[in-house]
Amino acid sequence: MTQQSLAQSMPEAGDYGAVLFYSEFDDPKAWGDALKSNLPGLDFRVYPDVGNPDDIRHVLAWKAFPGFFEPFRNIAQVVNLGAGIDALVGRTDLPDVPISRLSDPGMIALMRSYVLFSVIRYARDIPAFEQAQRRHEWHYIHPRPLDTIKVGILGLGHLGSAVASGLADVGFDVSGWDVAPKSITGVRCFGLDQKQDFLGELEILVNMMPLTPATAGMINADLFSALPQGAKFVNASRGHVVDEPALIEALRSGQIGGATLDVFHVEPLPEDHPFWSMENVLITPHLASITVPEAAARDVAESIRRVSAGGEPLHRVDPRRGY
């Protein structure tokens, strides 16, 4: 179907079917208001107030519980309320329909700002100044030019690429690695068989890999040992991509000089977890990037229009690959 014929066949709001929203994290009212401003008259329902399950055509969900999708026989698409789709991988209740992720400028800007903060904090020796302040000590460290500081981005998807570009724009010496060939202005990109070359000279490593069966635990003791001693590590992606015991050991030995961690194997982080008491670890509670409904709803509304007219949604993903 061409774009012209798709536009001509766009249904009226009443023909979209019902939209079901499920999330224990996101605000359903904000999402309902934002979607209805783009699709007036939309039938927007919030779980568990489903009504007739056969009315549901579009599902907006974040980390739906096992079996969630089984009652809905007429689903036409699923929209994942975030960038990472690991909660949709390997499910037996997921229908064979288009699945898309969110991609809005607000989400990208927040992720870029988090990683910029984390990298600049290390580049400008802020942890050393924080420790000196606690000692009441005036401790001068001469700043280094940013282009002498080598930063690596592991994973160059839509968020990873934006992060890499943002760091390059600030002036860092940026490289990136991904399983698929990538080309990003101002960033040296390494491919599948070049991981050792990518890691060998980094001062700061940022994880932006999605969580898939292939990436679970990929950041392990071997990877940490391939970094120069004392390298810093930032994880703003998914906790299970990292072997946490290996990271703890690397932090204790000094192989990793410091870590900024936003995601973990168990969230909230248990109060007896070793990370809490490690002076070279900064913990944030999974807030590196959040969805801004007012911005993301425009794309979701467009996907509802397209799928209702027999077309493809925006930002479609493949749960078999995990991205």
- Return the active site residues: 238, 286
DSSP strand E in 3-132: where? 18-22, 44-46, 56-61, 77-80, 99-101
- Going from the C-alpha of 119 to that of each of 60, 116, 171, 198, 216, the distances in angstroms are 33, 5, 12, 17, 24
DSSP annotation of 203 = S
Q: Residue 201 and residue 4: Cα distance in Å, rounded?
A: 51
What the block records as the tokens of 16 is 């979209």
Among candidate residues 156, 151, 211, 201, the one with its CA nearest the CA of residue 178 = 156
List 189's β-bridge partners, or say none.
176
State the burial class of residue 208 (Cβ atoms within 10 Å of its Cβ: 0-12, 13-18, 19+).
buried
How many residues comprise the chain?
323
Torsion region of 171: left, alpha or beta (phi above 0 gives left; psi -120 to 50 gives alpha): left
Q: Residue 176 and residue 167: Cα distance in Å, rounded?
A: 11
State the burial class of residue 100 (Cβ atoms within 10 Å of its Cβ: 0-12, 13-18, 19+).
buried
| Pair type for strands 99-101 and 77-80 | parallel
